[in-house]
């Protein structure tokens, strides 16, 4: 029996009588087993994502990480380097290893290893912070940037594996529910953890090591979940020629060359993927601007470090509340419409900050938490980019490549991020924020031209195994699909 969630043939030809009844009965029995496996795997992935989300609140990219760097060295260009390291690291490893991952029969072990490496990165920071903070702050800043880049690379691969497992184990019509559970429950638990520990540690002089240790602990706990996945083994897709051929590694240069050829062929064959990449590139302005929001509040409005806890809670609460709507709607209506709206709404964040800049300082600092309400849509938007890429891929084996290409499109504009930080220092916050809002709005306009994959493939997409290719031009002429 095929292992996919949707590969079972639940219909039988008319007129086959009793034989058809027996076949249907067997199919239903197998269906129950496949449904139980799907439910278990969905639960395991949700638990993994919930634990990661709790750990993530201690290192919130929009708030905590910029504040950590500013505590060591307050520099606009260095602050602008954070998004470069973040998105660059998250994109390079998926691009290099997407092909290898697609050929891996069992992907859950890759998820376990990448989660453990994420924990190790913050364990290093927790250990080294106190000895270097007073003696060598320059080395501490360098270590922080190196570890941050390493973590981003591990996290990028981790997200790629999660997406591949999601595409393999969860049907398209159930991915919104999985997002709802993991994001909403994760947000509630993360807010509780932040209120219990994060606020207290932010007020302490030596609080950052404790924050890093908590992050490492939760990521380490997440690494314990993947072995429990009931993942069906796929056929080994590695080269099957002479044993000497299998033992020869192409090397890094060969891997890069193969990856570039694969990306180019994929983009040439799918114009909708190109359009999605353009939307992702425009949306990256959201991620380039967020390190400067807390700096704006500190430098222009005089906010204190205690405000970070409020902003973290507001952002996570907004993410959890929005997931209650986004998750079910994405299952029922598809990802395209929601992606358009979330990208469009994200353009309101820099405009809101610009508006607060023209209000009285005492009023603006008290209401600055409103900025983190639309920022709470960012995790959902990134998840929808992934889900849309999964549905757009022509077959399950292409899931890692499509997701990695979208991730690269998100990262490519980040080479300009240090220039954004420099522009903030030279021109001020407001002009940079307005330009960013315009770029994000252009992305929403481009997204309108995206198709809804579920309308092109109304029967759903298989999560394991090949899916029929779209008809070629010759097939369309002869009327054969």
Instruction: Say if CB 109 and CB 269 are below 8 A apart.
Output: no
pLDDT band at 75 (very low <50, low <70, confident <90, very high): low
Supply the pLDDT for residue 20: 40
* pLDDT tens digits, one per residue of 91-136: 788 877 877 888 888 999 999 999 999 999 999 999 999 888 888 8
In what helix (H) or strand (E) does residue 121 lie, and over which residues does it extend? Answer: helix 108-135
Residue 145's SS3 state is: helix
Alpha helices in 175-233 (DSSP H): 175-193, 199-203, 207-222
The span from the CA of 256 to the CA of 10, in Å, is 43
Average pLDDT over residues 282-302: 85
pLDDT band at 218 (very low <50, low <70, confident <90, very high): very high
Average pLDDT over residues 370-374: 91
Q: How far is CA 332 from CA 172, 177, 380, in A?
A: 10, 10, 16
Supply the pLDDT for residue 383: 87
Which of 322-350 are b and which e, b meaning 16 or more Cβ less than 10 Å from the residue's Cβ?
bbeebbebbbeebbbebbbbbbbbbbbbb
Supply the pLDDT for residue 55: 94
Nearest Cα to 312, choosing from 201, 418, 206, 209?
201
* pLDDT tens digits, one per residue of 234-286: 775 554 444 434 444 455 566 566 666 766 788 888 899 999 999 999 998 88
Percent of the chain at pLDDT > 70 equals: 81
Residue 347 in tokens: 């353009």
Supply the pLDDT for residue 13: 38
**CATH, domain 39-232+255-453, list 3.40.120.10, 2.30.38.10, 3.20.20.150, 1.20.1250.20:** 1.20.1250.20
Nearest Cα to 470, choosing from 333, 272, 331?
272
* pLDDT tens digits, one per residue of 175-211: 888 888 888 898 899 999 989 998 888 888 788 999 9
* pLDDT tens digits, one per residue of 139-174: 888 899 999 999 999 999 999 999 889 888 988 778
Higher local confidence (pLDDT), 331 or 235: 331
The span from the CA of 92 to the CA of 21, in Å, is 52
The span from the CA of 207 to the CA of 209, in Å, is 6
Residue 473 in tokens: 């031009």
pLDDT at 371 over 50: yes
Query: Domain extents for the chain?
Result: 39-232+255-453
Average pLDDT over residues 283-302: 84
Average pLDDT over residues 374-386: 90
Q: How many CB atoms sit inside 10 A of residue 276's CB?
A: 24
The span from the CA of 181 to the CA of 186, in Å, is 8
Phi, psi of 130 (to 5 degrees): -65, -45
Nearest Cα to 387, choosing from 459, 344, 334?
334
Supply the pLDDT for residue 279: 96
* pLDDT tens digits, one per residue of 421-455: 788 888 888 899 999 999 999 999 999 999 988 77
State the helix-helix crossing angle for 64-72 and 307-333, rounded to 10 degrees: 150
- Residue 248 CB contacts under 8 Å (≥ 6 apart), including other chains: none
* pLDDT tens digits, one per residue of 41-60: 999 999 999 999 999 989 87
State the helix-helix crossing angle for 399-411 and 137-169, rounded to 10 degrees: 150
Longest alpha-carbon distance in the chain: 84
For residue 235, the 8-state DSSP code is: P
For residue 457, the 8-state DSSP code is: S
Supply the pLDDT for residue 225: 96
User: 133-136 — which CB contacts under 8 Å span 24+ positions?
Assistant: 133/72
Residue 439 in tokens: 């770029």
pLDDT at 364 over 60: yes
């Amino acid at each position: 029996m095929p292992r996919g969630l949707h590969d079972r043939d639940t219909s039988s030809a008319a007129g086959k009588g009793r034989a058809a009844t027996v076949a249907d009965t067997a199919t239903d029995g197998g269906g129950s087993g496949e449904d139980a496996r799907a439910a278990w795997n969905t639960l395991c992935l949700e638990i993994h994502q919930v634990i990661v989300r709790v750990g993530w609140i201690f290192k919130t990219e929009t708030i905590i990480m910029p504040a950590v760097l500013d505590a060591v060295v307050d520099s606009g260009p260095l602050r602008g380097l954070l998004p470069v390291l973040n998105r660059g690291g998250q994109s390079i490893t998926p691009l290099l290893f997407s092909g290898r991952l697609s050929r891996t029969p069992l992907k859950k072990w890759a998820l376990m290893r990448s989660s453990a490496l994420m924990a190790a990165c913050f364990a290093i920071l927790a250990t080294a912070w106190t000895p270097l903070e007073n003696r060598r702050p320059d080395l501490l800043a360098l270590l922080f940037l190196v570890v941050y880049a390493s973590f981003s690379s591990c996290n990028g691969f981790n997200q790629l594996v999660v997406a591949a497992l999601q595409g393999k184990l969860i049907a398209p019509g159930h991915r919104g529910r999985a997002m709802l559970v993991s994001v909403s429950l994760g947000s509630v638990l993360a807010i509780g953890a932040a209120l219990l520990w994060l606020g207290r540690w932010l007020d302490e002089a030596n609080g950052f090591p404790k924050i890093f240790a908590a992050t490492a602990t939760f990521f380490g706990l997440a690494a314990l979940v993947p072995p429990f996945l009931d993942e069906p083994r796929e056929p080994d897709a590695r080269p099957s020629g002479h044993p000497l051929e299998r033992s020869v590694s192409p090397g890094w240069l060969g891997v890069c060359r193969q990856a570039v050829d694969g990306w180019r062929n994929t983009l040439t064959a799918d114009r909708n993927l190109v359009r999605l990449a353009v939307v992702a590139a425009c949306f990256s302005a959201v991620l380039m601007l967020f390190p400067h929001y807390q700096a704006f509040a500190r430098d222009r409005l005089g906010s204190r470090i205690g405000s970070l806890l409020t902003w973290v809670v507001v952002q996570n609460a907004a993410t959890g509340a929005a997931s209650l709507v986004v998750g079910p709607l994405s299952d029922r209506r598809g990802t395209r419409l929601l992606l358009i709206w979330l990208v469009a709404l994200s353009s309101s964040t820099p405009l809101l900050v610009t508006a607060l800049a023209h209000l009285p300082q005492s009023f603006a600092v008290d209401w600055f938490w409103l900025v983190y309400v639309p920022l709470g849509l960012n995790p959902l938007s990134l998840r929808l980019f992934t889900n849309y890429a999964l549905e757009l891929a022509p077959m399950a084996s292409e899931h890692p490549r499509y997701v990695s290409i979208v991730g690269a499109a998100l990262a490519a504009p980040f080479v300009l991020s240090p220039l954004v930080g420099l522009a903030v220092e030279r021109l001020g916050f407001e002009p940079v924020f307005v330009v960013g809002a315009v770029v994000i709005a252009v992305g929403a306009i481009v997204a309108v031209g995206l198709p809804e994959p579920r309308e092109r493939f109304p029967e759903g997409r298989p999560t394991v195994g090949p899916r029929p290719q779209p008809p070629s031009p010759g097939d369309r002429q002869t009327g054969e699909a």
